[in-house]
Chains A and B, each alone.
Chain A
Amino acid sequence: MSEIASVTALNGARYDGIVEVAEMPLQGMITLRGKLGAAPVKNAAIGIGGVDMPDDGMISVQGDRAIAWMSPDELLIFCAYDEVGVALTAMERTLDGSFAMAVDVSDARAMFRLEGAAVRDVLAKLTPADMSVQGCPPGRMRRTRLAQVAAAIWLTGETTAHIVCFRSVAPYVFGLLSTAAQPGSDVGYY
């Protein structure tokens, strides 16, 4: 790792409206592609420590570590930003000889957190996904779109939502979330 500190896209931008919108600090993210049922792939994933393999469509979270199901042959592994190098090396070792790929995508992304009772309402203004408790229970990893860009969203409780999007559209997504959280815009649906 270099001595120069990396920065997030928006330097931790925040907005307080009917929910609190915050850009999250740097987060390590590794894309792991391969046969999810295969032992080396599973072992590579859970090798980051303390996190179980998620069921299809879900994310398992433990502190700043998580494993998210992204597609039938893709996982997104979350770990501390400065642990990515170590984690990747360990994964490569576990995956050695098997047809799988682990690659660092930490800098390609931006992350946001929404806090407040209205998180489902705010997200439902932007995503066509079903934001009801049944449609998006805490722990469901939902790849969808927010207005005009791709995003993945998940809840870790009824008042906390997380969003991952591409770094280049971080200002746009922050603008969307802030607008959707503007005062007086409560829907009171969820």
Chain B
Amino acid sequence: MSYRHNDSGRLIDRSQTLTFTFDGKTFTGHPGDTLASALLAGDRMLVGRSFKYHRPRGIVASGVEEPNALVNMGHGNRMEPNQRATTTELFDGLTAVSQNRWPTLDSDIGAMNAAIARFLPAGFYYKTFLWPRAFWKNVYEPFIRQSAGLGRAPTEADPDSYEHFHVHTDVLVVGGGVAGLAAAKAAAATGLKVLVLEQTHYWGGRTPVDGGKIDGMPAQEWIDATVAELEAMRNVTLRTRTMGAGVYDHGYALGYERLTDHAPDAEGPRHRLWRIRARQIVTATGAIERPLAFAGNDVPGVMLASAMRDYLVNWGVVPGQRIVVATNNDDGYRTAIVLKKAGLDVLRILDAREAGGGALMQEARDLGLRIDCGRGIGKVSGGKRVKKVQICVTTGTGGAMEALDCDAVAMAGGWSPVVHLWSHCGGKLVWDDAQAHFRPDPAKAPTGADGLPFVTTAGSASGPMALGSVLQDGAAAGTRAAKAAGGKGRAPKVPVAEDVEEAAMLPVWQMPARAEYRLKSKSWLDFQNDVKVSDVELAAREGFESVEHTKRYTTLGMATDQGKLSNINGLAVLAGALQKPIPQVGTTTFRPPYTPISIGAIGGSARGDIFQPVRMTPMHAWHDVHGADWEPVGQWRRPYAYPQQGEKVEEAVQREVTNTRDNVGLLDASTLGKILVRGPDAGRFLDMLYTNMMSTLKVGRCRYGLMCSENGFLIDDGVVARVGEDAWLCHTTTGGADRIHAHMEEWLQTEWWDWKVHVANLTEQYAQIAVVGPKARQLLESLGGMDLSAETLPFMAWADGELGGIGVRVYRISFSGELSFEIAVRAGQGLALWEKLVEAGKAFGVMPYGTEALHIMRAEKGFIMIGDETDGTVIPQDLGLDWAISKKKTDYLGKRAQERSHMTDPTRWKLVGLETEDGSVLPDGAYAVGRGKNANGQLVTQGRVTSSYHSPTLGRGIAMGLVLHGPDRMGEVLEFPGTDDKVYRAKIVNPVFFDPEGAKQNV
């Protein structure tokens, strides 16, 4: 049984007790516990089921590398799947539920997958779900979806908040173990800014567990002193519970801070994503111990040797009382020694090496422990916990020499540096034969914009595992990084530690070396995804020689732990099967984040009201109060219509059109772009930008203009007003304001840099209100302040003045065919003027109208709309806008392009009006079909609908479209098949449906 052993446990506070539940059962723990240590303390050995075979699984590690102990945490809107018990700090009231089991963890139906395990080898899905094809959708996919995924997805919105934090620092140190602290100290001594991130809530990493003296003091004392020293330095920032998640180009790195996971009732954001720009990055990320691949290495109670001593030293917890230790290196002895000294029964140390180890072996022997050299584990038996170990010869096939009853097994397979962050941005690895691991190759570091390295590794992340060399490497890394970041000054004294002489380790990738198939098929490499030695060997036999292909074929390393335990063992087995050296097989790619980070942290504060910026006009709140049905236009929200009580949106639109045509309507046109173009060369500049002449426009007058790209295609349109001798105000479409402003700046800065023109985007300086309809002039005159008669202010003129005491500029322009005034007013007075117009307009039957009414009225008049009639492939000539193209100008943007053969091709589809025979509304975007089929066997098309509405003015459907030879085919009837299986018949007509003489606007 696992239990809280003695009075040890350096991280826990035994004076307080916390209560939590696992699968509904109540457990207790102490502050400082992880969920994993507290579960072990409560004899909860079985904590989950494996993904594929639903094998019973226990806790195998003590940190981020844990593959098995994943739980659904919390409930309701705070439920979160796949939470790692080993990195979950215990809090009072925690609730956790095990995953991937049904109906319960102890009696799981899915476990029968294990009984048919021999039928579920690598590539099973690929081989099985090939045929029949008809089964893909209705049989295989539901089956795969049913069994996919470990935890359950949350069903409610997350109530917590998250945020980002941007930091610029000179040196970023990832990892607060002794190497990271030594590096930070060395870098900080130069006075540079240093930021140190540590993923756990304590400093010093695993050194206090492993023991040793630094600068003559016990490790913990040195750690405390160093942290205190760093904390006192103004140029150093230390953050715990913050994991270095990823390293990216140009010294950019992400840190993942977990603020309230351990204290869910605290206020403030739950996670904070640190977005760090560092000149230099030191990755002091430590190393992870490898498991040994023997049969039954996944039975609960089999644990990494280092984890077993972590649990004892940090939390006073042991997974059993009679323990067998299997090792291929000296470090495994540390666990045996710690256990023995704590009074536990270490039954046997099985050292895979014929010659055994060095000083640590001697120490173990002196403690009276029995050591068998050249021996290993043939098989572990037991279902939900370890019962028995069969001992075998390491070099053999697995024949049992002896069986030992025991309740826990510690496995020590050697250490692999955590190279993830080094590798994220291109750092290369080199194979270290002596330690049988990949370590960073300092000659091939990730490089920055200057071609120089910006990442350096420190401590065991560099390769050395002994305390003394770890400290030395850490300090050197700190000095190196500081120097590269521009730091000056002498490096502080390097901390020293005396190392125990260790004997060479022996690489063991399968235990025993010549294991029979029945053992290999129970020797786990990837615990979470159920990949065994036999699966990797099968992949090799089937031709998957690339480690990346093998990974995907077998799913090795593809689980939420991303192969932290399985990577090296898996590729070593692959190398063995391919009979290639390990470095030739290589590793899979390491990608950020180092461990999964919350989606909430990635999104930061961008949720709810501030998910995206919503641009609001000065009258936005009024529209909202008056029932606006909103339409997004760029980042703006514009009223689509203002439905009244009991009115449908479509009905409101029709009413708004009719009222505007009969009385007077108000439109909030503030979103239209307003760009001031000024300077001695402004006229010349606008003549180049617009297809027609703007330089000849008289001050006080307005002209409609078209803008094309250099490829000739229409990009924007609007009314230009000449507001001064050297100044023009260009109106753009709502969506075009920023784009056209940038377009102007680009031409001025890159091509015509010597032209004397300034532009300013004044879009938001003015609110703009369109007052439209036969009673528009009466309404404005009722406010009083300026003469708006047809004589003083004719069509396409503007004037400055006052209306109702508010300073305004009135443009007499019309996009509806009605008598129409667009009134520009300071944004701060926009609402005041709008409200005056509403109030005074009551006598004239004024009503606000939205964008849809605007669209219908312009379509009734045959006015084009950028984005409806144009789509980036349409030129002005397609739309019959030749009148707006100057023939006199030698040049304008798009002119040359419009002369090319494809642009002058008479078969280009041209704009026409379309009227259905029965008055119905044509489907928007529908295509007119011609006779026969094209080379692809599709119906030939000869036109398409670009705008289509029901016109309340005409009482019928109206549409515009681009049609082959359209203007020459007036009266012809086209057929438009709809997606509703109906065929719509429409006649080609003039696109101006209403008041073609313009009588209404010229009053």
Contacts and interface: CB of A to CB of B under 8 A. Distances in A.
Interface of A: 1-4, 6-9, 26, 31, 33-34, 99-101, 103-109, 121, 124-132, 135, 147-149, 166-172, 175-176, 179-180, 182-187, 189
Nearest to A184: B268
B799 to A, nearest CB: 16
Nearest to B614: A172
9 contacts: A33-B760, A103-B760, A106-B826, A107-B828, A125-B164, A167-B618, A168-B615, A180-B605, A184-B268
B484 interface: no
B165 A179 contact: no
B756 interface: yes
B970 interface: no
Interface string B756-768: 1010101111100
Nearest 10 CB-CB pairings of A with B: A184-B268, A6-B828, A184-B267, A168-B615, A107-B827, A108-B764, A108-B765, A130-B168, A101-B758, A172-B613
Contact of A4 (B604, B612, B758, B806): B806
A2 B161 CA distance: 45
A4 B828 CA distance: 10
Nearest to B609: A175
B765 A104 contact: yes
A2 to B, nearest CB: 5
A3 B805 contact: yes
A169 B610 contact: no
A111 B237 CA distance: 32
A176 B165 contact: no
A29 to B, nearest CB: 10
B599 interface: no
Given A171-B616, A180-B163, A180-B605, A103 B679 contact: no
Given A124-B165, A148-B606, A175-B609, A189 B828 contact: no
Interface of B: 161, 163-168, 193, 237, 266-269, 272, 275, 277, 604-606, 609-610, 612-618, 636, 676, 678-680, 756, 758, 760, 762-766, 802, 804-807, 826-829, 831-833
A103 to B, nearest CB: 5
Contacts of A148: 606, 612-613
B893 to A, nearest CB: 23
A183 to B, nearest CB: 5
Q: Counting chain B CB atoms within 10 Å of each CB, which of A125, A132, A168, A179 scores highest?
A: A168
Contacts of B826: 6, 106-107
B828 A7 contact: yes
Given A107-B826, A107-B827, A185-B163, A176 B605 contact: yes
A44 B945 CA distance: 55
A108 B673 CA distance: 12
A9 B676 CA distance: 23
Consensus secondary structure, chain A interface? loop
A125 B163 contact: yes
A25 to B, nearest CB: 11
Nearest to B252: A128
Given A101-B758, A172-B613, A9 B163 contact: no
A125 B601 CA distance: 12
A38 to B, nearest CB: 13
Nearest to A3: B805
A6 B831 CA distance: 9
A101 B762 contact: no
B165 A189 contact: yes
A132 B165 CA distance: 13
Contacts of B807: 1-2
Contacts of B606: 147-148
B676 A103 contact: yes
Given A168-B617, A169-B615, A179-B605, A131 B166 contact: yes
A168 to B, nearest CB: 4
A167 B827 contact: yes
Nearest to B674: A108
Contacts of B806: 2, 4
- Among B166, B618, B805, which residue has the most Cβ atoms of chain A within 10 A? B166
Which of A2, A34, A127 neighbours the largest number of chain B CB atoms within 10 Å of its CB?
A2
A147 B605 contact: yes
Given A2-B807, A107-B828, A9 B618 contact: yes
Contact of A167 (B267, B609, B764): B764
Given A168-B764, A179-B605, A185 B166 contact: no
Contact of A105 (B609, B762, B833): B762
